[in-house]
Amino acid sequence: MVKFGRLYNLIMIIDFTNLRIAVDFDGTIVEHEYPEIGKEKLFAFQTLKELEKMGARLILWTFRSGKELNDAIDYCRKNGVEFYAVNKNYPEEIFDDTISRKIDADIYIDDKNLGGFPGWSEVWQILVPFELHQKEVEKRMAAIKSKKLKRLFWRKERPDEE
């Protein structure tokens, strides 16, 4: 479960590589219109695509099954999100009575969280706070300045000048 609050930002998980994020569909990615597919929630797909780019493994974790599940998967695929697994811990998992139905994830994003779903903008700010973005921009700016200075003041010696 994603914890919402300022204290959680102090305990940030910065490395998203292989981080398993279980995401609900109805009420979280889209408005709740089950069994139909509701309207896309603002920033849902942008956020999910960015998390994928950062190396997170997204798991669709939904009550849907059969045709309704396939419709949800197709809807997400058409919007640029391909899930690592669907209602499973990993793609090859075969469910039987020896396996818990609960998805083993590092983070759960669901409209049924205590306090409700805060929206994708807030989810993004919790997972990737502004301070991290600011530090990344500062690093890039410093690298650009360094390259410009090297171009201005660094001269490659020619063999005939030795």
Nearest one of 28, 26, 33 to 1, comparing CA atoms: 28
Share of the chain above pLDDT 90, in %: 42
pLDDT (tens digit, 9 = 90+) per residue, 137-161? Answer: 677 777 777 776 666 666 656 566 5
- pLDDT, mean over the chain: 81
Give the model confidence (pLDDT) of 7-55 as tens digits: 344 344 457 888 899 999 999 999 999 999 999 999 999 999 999 988 8
How far apart are the C-alpha atoms of 141 and 145, rounded to whole Å?
A: 6
Distance CA 153, CA 31 (A): 57
- Distance (Å, whole) CA 69 – CA 101: 16
**Whole-prediction pTM value?**
0.70
Q: What pLDDT score was predicted for residue 156?
A: 59
Query: In CATH, what number does 6-128 get?
Result: 3.40.50.1000
